[in-house]
Amino acid sequence: MRTRKNLSLNFVFIAIVLLWLKTYAVYKLNFDIDIENKMQEFILFINPLSFLMIALGFGLFLSGKKQKIYVVATSFILSFILFANAVYYREFSDFITIPLLTQTSNMGDLKSSVGELLNWTDLLLFADVILLAILAFSKTGKISFKKQRTLIVSAFYLSTAGIALFNLGLSESERPELLTRTFDREILVKNIGTYNHHIYDAFLQTKSTAQRAMADGNELAEIENYVRAHYKAPNKEMFGAAKGKNVIVISMESTQNFVIGQKVNGQEITPFLNDFIKESYYFDNFYHQTAQGKTSDSEFLLENSLYPLGRGAVFFTHSGNEYISLAEKLKANSYYTAKLHANNKSFWNRDVIYNNFGYDRFYSLDDYEVNDLNSVGWGMKDIDFFKQSMDHLKEMPQPFYAKFITLTNHFPFELDEEDKFIEEFDSNSRTLNRYFPTVRYTDEALKLFIEDLKKSGLYENSIIVIYGDHYGISENHNKAMEQYLGKEITPFVSTQLQRVPLIIHIPGHEGKQISTAAGQIDLRPTLLNLAGIETKEDIQFGTDLFSKQQDNFVVLRDGSFITEDVVYTKGTCYDKATGEQTSQASCEPYMDQAKSELEYSDKIIYGDLLRFYEKNNK
C-alpha cells in the first residue's frame, strides 16, 4: 500500500515532466531564441515549470476518471497553444497575442499561408498527449489516480511558488524591469516562458481596455508639448510642389529594399523601378515600422503618423477611435479619396476603419472581375489589378487621393509559370527562392500601370508614391539570405534589412537619391506638405522627408532605432558606418526619445486621446 501511495502522483507528474521537456524542445528547435550565457539557458529551461505545475496540478484535487480527463484535456490545450506559436513563429519570428486571436475575419484568407507553414512533423507536438491518453485509459496497476491529501497538495503548490519566484528573480537579474521596459516578446518568452507570456498578454489586454475608460484630455498636454518641440518646418521650396495634383500612392506587398538595383541569376529583379528611380526622389534609407499588423500597420502609419501597437493590429483593436487621417485632411482640402485593393473588404477590418478614416470610396473585391485565370496565391494578380483599376481611376473627380495595395508578392510567393519573368533563386529556402520572381512580377505590373497612366493623361497631373509595406523575408530564412547577400546576418544587418523602397515622383522634378534615415511614419507630413497643406498643429510623430531640419532619426516598433551614425537593436549599439558594435554611450542620447515616442503613441491609441483633441480644436 505504501508503494501505491508513492506512485499516486505519478500521472500528474508524468504529464508535467512530458510537457515541460517538450516545451523546452520547442524553444530550441522551433524558436530562434538568442541565448548569451549559461544562466539564460538555465532560465529558458526552468521557465515553463511553475506554470505547468499550477495548470496540471489541479488534477491533484481530482480522482479516477475526472483526473484522467482533466490532465489529458489540459495537456492537449497547452500543446495546442505551443503548436500555434510554433507555426506562427515559423514565418513571422514572433509569438501570438490575444489581439491577433480576435482577427477571426482574416482566417478565410489565410488558407494558402497556413498550409505552407504546416509540416507533418508538427504532429509530434501532440505525442505526449497521445501517450498520456494511452496511460490514462489502459488497464495498469502501476499508476494511481487518487485525490491527494491536503498536506501533499500544499507542499506541491508551495514548491510551485518557490520555483516561480526563483525564476522571476533570476530573470530580473538578467533583465532588470523585465515586465515594464521591454518591447520584445522574445525576451519575455526567454525569461518567463510561453505560457506565462500569454498570461501577461491577457493582463496587458485588460489594462489597455481600462485605459480608454479612464483617459481624459489632460493626458494630451504632455504629448502635444513633445510633438511641438520636435516639429520640423517643411522645405519652403517643396511645400506645395504638388498642390492641386492627384496623389497616387502604391503599397508594394512585402517588398524590401535589398532587391532594388540587384540581380538574381544574372537578371535584374526590379528593372522598371531601377529606371523609375532615376527620374524620381528615391529614399534608400527608409524603414518599415510595422509590427503584428503587417500591411494594415503600414497603412496606419501612412494615414496617421502614429506608431502601430506592439500587440495585434490597430485596425482591429481600435478601429473606432478618433483619428485625424491623411485621407481626412486631403478630403477637407477638396480631394476625392479612395482605396483600391482587390481583396475581401472585411480583411484587416478595412471596411470599418476606412470609413472612420474618411475615405469616399473603397474599391474592394466586389469591384473587380476576379477568376482563376487572373488570380494566384492571395488573390488577383497585380497586372490585372492595375489594369482594371484604371477604369476606377478615370471615373474619379480630380484632384484625387488614390491608395493602391498590391497582392502578388505575398507569402507564400506563389506564381504561375507563364508569369515568371526571372528564374527562382537556388537556396535551402523555398520562400526566398520564390520571392524574387514575385517581386519581379510586381515590378512588371508597375511598369504597365505607369504606361497606362501616361496614355490616360493622368501621369503629368499626379504625384506617384511607391513604397514597401513590410518585410517579405523573415529572420527564419537568414541562412538563405546569407547565401544571397554573401555575408553574415548579424542583428545590425537584420535591422538594415528592414529598409523598404520609397520612391516619390513629382512631374517636372529631376531624380535625386536621399539617404536620410526615415520611416513610414514620415509619409503623412511629407505628402500633406507637398500638397500645400499645413500640419504644424497636428499631433504626429513623423517629419517631412524634404525638411532641411530632418533629424535622421527613425524608431522601429520593437524599440530599435537608427540615426545618421548609429543603429540600436536588441540592446546593442552599432556603428552605422562599419556595422561593428560600439559603446552604448553612442546610443544613449536617443534612447529616451525612442521610448517616449512609442509610449506617447500607445497612450493616444489606448486612451483614444484624439477625441479630446478634436473637441478642443473645433
Query: Do residue 185 and residue 285 come from a single domain?
Result: no
Residue 462 is part of a domain; what is its CATH number?
Answer: 3.40.720.10
What is the per-residue pLDDT for 471?
Answer: 95
Catalytic (active site) residue 150? no
Domain boundary residue among 168, 184, 211? 211
Q: Supply the DSSP string of 401-437, one letter for each residue.
A: EEEEE--SS-TT----GGG-SSPPP-SS-HHHHHHHH
Bridge partners of 401? 247, 337
- The Cα–Cα gap between 216 and 416 comes to 54
- The Cα–Cα gap between 210 and 205 comes to 9
Query: Do residue 146 and residue 255 come from a single domain?
Result: no
Domain boundary residue among 194, 211, 228? 211
Query: Do residue 197 and residue 242 come from a single domain?
Result: no
Q: Provide the residue range defining the domain that includes 160.
A: 2-211
What is the per-residue pLDDT for 614?
Answer: 61
Q: Give residues with Cβ within 8 angstroms of 49, minimum separation 6.
A: 16, 20, 163, 167
Query: Do residue 239 and residue 321 come from a single domain?
Result: yes
What is the per-residue pLDDT for 6?
Answer: 45
Query: Which one-letter DSSP state was computed for residue 233?
Result: P
- The Cα–Cα gap between 528 and 525 comes to 5
Read off the amino acid at residue 195.
Y
Query: Do residue 190 and residue 284 come from a single domain?
Result: no
Domain boundary residue among 187, 211, 235? 211
Cell reading at 87: 507555426
Q: Which of 10-19, 324-333, 520-529, 562-571 has the lowest mean pLDDT?
A: 10-19
Please report where in the chains the cell 524599440 appears, as a residue: 559
Q: Which of 23, 290, 295, 408 is catalytic?
A: 295
Q: Supply the DSSP string of 28-95, one letter for each residue.
A: HHT------SHHHHHHHHHTTHHHHHHHHHGGGG--HHHHHHHHHHHHHHHHHHHHHHHHHHHHHSS-
Q: CA-based angle 577:582:587, to the nearest 5?
A: 90
Please report where in the chains the cell 519581379 appears, as a residue: 440
Query: Do residue 281 and residue 361 come from a single domain?
Result: yes
What is the per-residue pLDDT for 190?
Answer: 87
Query: Do residue 381 and residue 420 come from a single domain?
Result: yes
- The Cα–Cα gap between 398 and 460 comes to 13
Model confidence over 430-467: pLDDT tens digits?
999 999 999 999 999 999 999 999 999 999 999 999 99
Query: Do residue 422 and residue 280 come from a single domain?
Result: yes
What is the per-residue pLDDT for 616?
Answer: 44
Query: Do residue 334 and residue 475 come from a single domain?
Result: yes
Query: Do residue 206 and residue 224 come from a single domain?
Result: no
Q: Which of 157-166, 197-206, 578-587 has the lowest mean pLDDT?
A: 197-206
Total domain count for the chain? 2
Query: Which one-letter DSSP state was computed for residue 499?
Result: B
Model confidence over 58-112: pLDDT tens digits?
988 888 889 899 999 999 999 999 998 888 888 667 788 776 666 555 545 555 5
* Whether the predicted pLDDT of 24 surpasses 80: yes
Show the DSSP H helices in 63-193 as ranges.
64-92, 98-101, 111-117, 127-137, 150-174, 178-181, 185-192
To the nearest 10°, the Cα dihedral for 73, 77, 83, 86?
-140
* Whether the predicted pLDDT of 7 surpasses 50: no
Model confidence over 482-538: pLDDT tens digits?
999 999 999 999 999 999 999 999 999 999 999 999 999 999 999 999 999 999 999
**CA 67 vs CA 20, 128, 132, 136, 239: distances in Å:** 19, 17, 12, 9, 71
Helices 64-92 & 127-137 angle (0-180, nearest 10) = 170
> Which of 104 and 236 is assigned the larger pLDDT?
236
Mean pLDDT of 128-139: 87
> Which of 353 and 446 is assigned the larger pLDDT?
446
Query: Do residue 223 and residue 199 come from a single domain?
Result: no
Query: Do residue 246 and residue 117 come from a single domain?
Result: no
- pLDDT category of residue 182 using cuts at 50, 70 and 90: low
